Amino acid sequence: MKIDKRTALFFLIVNIILVVSGVGKVFYFHETLIRDLNHSRPQLNQIGYAVVLAAQGIAALVLYIGLLWIIRVFKEQKWIWSGIIVFLVVQLRMFISVLVVPYLLKGRGYLELLHLFRLLFEVSVAYMVVTFFAVSNRVIRVFFWCFAVLIGLNNLLVYLGPKLYDNFSIHWLLINPNFTFWIPWVASLALFARVFNLAKEQLLQREGSAPAEQASTFTEPEE
């Protein structure tokens, strides 16, 4: 197993940026864990808000590719790769459809399609969580398990919270996704930091073994 240090560093930096921007967004908009429907929030112009959301979305997609890279580097079973691949395909399809479909469908048909996309998204997240729990390498599995638990709980509460609030007025389950979005990425941040440190250790070992190999090939000249 050989870990590329530059690749690990790239994903680590992207993860740091995502977490810092997520925390910054929470403070800037005065977000709370439980949605406060009477809470007034600072406003960004439409373009600025779209740029922030797009940047965070792109960073998250890059990090999912990074998780796939780690699974491949640590030689996990190939079927585990399918969890992230299916999730990314669904995400890409949703992104394209959101841009195109409004021009093709209107009214009830468009709303039904949005509900279908939401269901596909939840199914893809659930499948990815299952595959993450199948990661077996002891060096990385705890990080994947933590990420799976956090992202699974986050999506479950965000999905069920509004329904429970509408039907039973359970306000404390009305979780604010703008607050919880960045939390699972703390686990991935620890994972990328661990992988980066392993890459540095491997590099030091290779540099240390090179002089030893050169010394072993040196022989005294014959008289």
pLDDT of residue 223: 44
Per-residue pLDDT, 218: 47
Q: Is the dihedral of CA 77, 82, 85, 87 positive or negative?
A: negative
- Residue pair 11/66 in contact (Cβ under 8 Å)? The answer is yes
Predicted pLDDT of residue 98: 64
pLDDT confidence of residue 16: 96
Cα–Cα dist 21/37, whole Å:
24
0.85 surpassed by pTM: no
Distance from C-alpha of 142 to C-alpha of 137, rounded to nearest angstrom: 9
pLDDT at residue 222, rounded to an integer: 47
Mean pLDDT of successive 10-residue stretches along the chain, which has 223 residues: 92 96 86 73 72 86 95 93 92 73 60 77 92 94 95 84 67 76 93 95 80 52 46
Rounded CA-CA distance 4/219 in Å is 34
